[in-house]
A and B are shown apart, each in its own frame.
Chain A
Amino acid sequence: MTEAPILECRGLTKTYGSHRGLEDFSVALPAGRIIGLLGPNGSGKTTLIKLCAGLLRPTSGQLYIDGMPVGPDTKSIVSYLPERICFDVSMTVEGVMAYYKDFFADFDEQRAKVMLEKLNIDTARKIKELSKGTREKVQLVLVMSRRAKLYLLDEPIGGVDPATRDYILSTIISNYSPDSSVIISTHLISDVENILDEFMFINEGKLILYNNCDNVRRELGKSLDRFFREVFRC
């Protein structure tokens, strides 16, 4: 690899009391990829994402984003989509957009406005007046409107209707840039496998496998979904 990896973990471990969220996790992810973080519930997906987003501190090991340790500098190049709505719901959509623009230099306001318009979302309305699905769309639009180097999407398509899912995946694809990477954490593998370049299988906090999707298809003649089911058979 000639360039620095976008994300590099070396022996990353996170323990909560006696429970191991992540154990000796080591991987180097290059830029320009869409990578699936796949594993059963409680396997450590959210722990890894929170560590990268700066919401958790590692117990041991190292974590570098674009060559820098996690801190305010990495937070300005990492765009995080959590599983829950994280806005102050008394703000309007415009207000939240202004907030993003204020704090994130890489926020592309024009792009956000265009996407919100296409979705017919009235930006003057307050977040608390919007339905849950619309709130999630607003959050997705704002996260994807940042020209970040690393996007962390935690279960972006769980619990959405197929049309919305198509829209979300299409947004991720059209947002693609060779300078940035997207990590999608999900357990709905068959829905996303077409847009993934690579994938990480994670279980019980450990990295089971990191490989390219088409390699799996070529060498094993299986879809990623089927391969996952075999590897994680109960």
Chain B
Amino acid sequence: MPWDFDTSVPVYLQIAETVRRRIVSGEYERGSQLPSVRDLAVKAAVNPNTVQRAFMCLENDGLIETRGTMGRYVTDSLESVEAARETLAQDTIGAFCRRMEALGYTGEDTIELLKKTYEGETK
């Protein structure tokens, strides 16, 4: 099934984002080979050049590397993945905070509500 995209935002960024998340979550393990550009393009139903651009983006971030003609691999570096995990987390938190603010919650109220919700979930 083709992936869902917000077509008002550059698609290559969204692909890069999805691959980043999969690396961070471990779905694409460290050091493992990534699917080829063609395979990913067919799966996501996007243009191969778009996937290529997304990969280049991730390469710039140090999350993946090209090994000659053998293809693309996820980095072995734990630090890079951790750094990416943290960046993603920060982005998620940042977006969350802005949304709560828009609902009228102060910083403290938000933290209170968070605590309650977590406790409720772990019970």
Contact = CB atoms under 8 A, between A and B. Distances in A.
Tell whether any CB of A sits under 8 Å from a CB of B in the complex: yes
B117 interface: no
Interface in A173-209: 173-174, 176, 190, 193-197
A190 B45 contact: no
B12 to A, nearest CB: 6
- The A interface, classified by DSSP as helix, strand, loop or mixed, is helix
A166 interface: yes
B41 to A, nearest CB: 5
Given A217-B7, A224-B7, A225-B7, A174 B42 contact: yes
A91 to B, nearest CB: 31
B38 to A, nearest CB: 6
Nearest to A221: B8
Nearest to A220: B8
Contact of B8 (A34, A174, A196, A226): A226
A194 B9 contact: no
Nearest to A169: B45
B50 A223 contact: no
Name B's interface SS.
Answer: loop
A214 B7 contact: no
Contacts of A218: 9-10
A111 interface: no
Nearest to A190: B7
A200 B7 CA distance: 18
A169 B3 CA distance: 13
B41 A173 contact: yes
Given A173-B45, A173-B47, A166 B9 contact: no
A90 interface: no
Interface string A71-113: 0000000000000000000000000000000000000000000
Contacts of B6: 223
Contacts of A190: 7
A37 to B, nearest CB: 15
Contacts of A226: 8
A195 B8 contact: no
B68 interface: no
Contacts of A213: 11
A1 to B, nearest CB: 15
A223 B6 CA distance: 8
B46 interface: yes
B44 to A, nearest CB: 8
- The 7 lowest CB-CB distance pairs between A and B, nearest first, are A223-B7, A214-B10, A217-B10, A223-B8, A176-B48, A218-B10, A194-B46
Interface of B: 1-2, 5-12, 38, 41-42, 45-50, 53
Given A34-B47, A197-B47, 9 more contacts: A170-B45, A173-B38, A174-B38, A176-B38, A176-B48, A194-B11, A194-B45, A218-B9, A225-B7
21 contacts: A34-B47, A173-B38, A173-B42, A173-B46, A174-B38, A174-B42, A193-B7, A194-B11, A194-B45, A195-B45, A195-B46, A197-B49, A197-B50, A214-B11, A217-B8, A217-B9, A218-B9, A218-B10, A221-B8, A223-B7, A223-B8
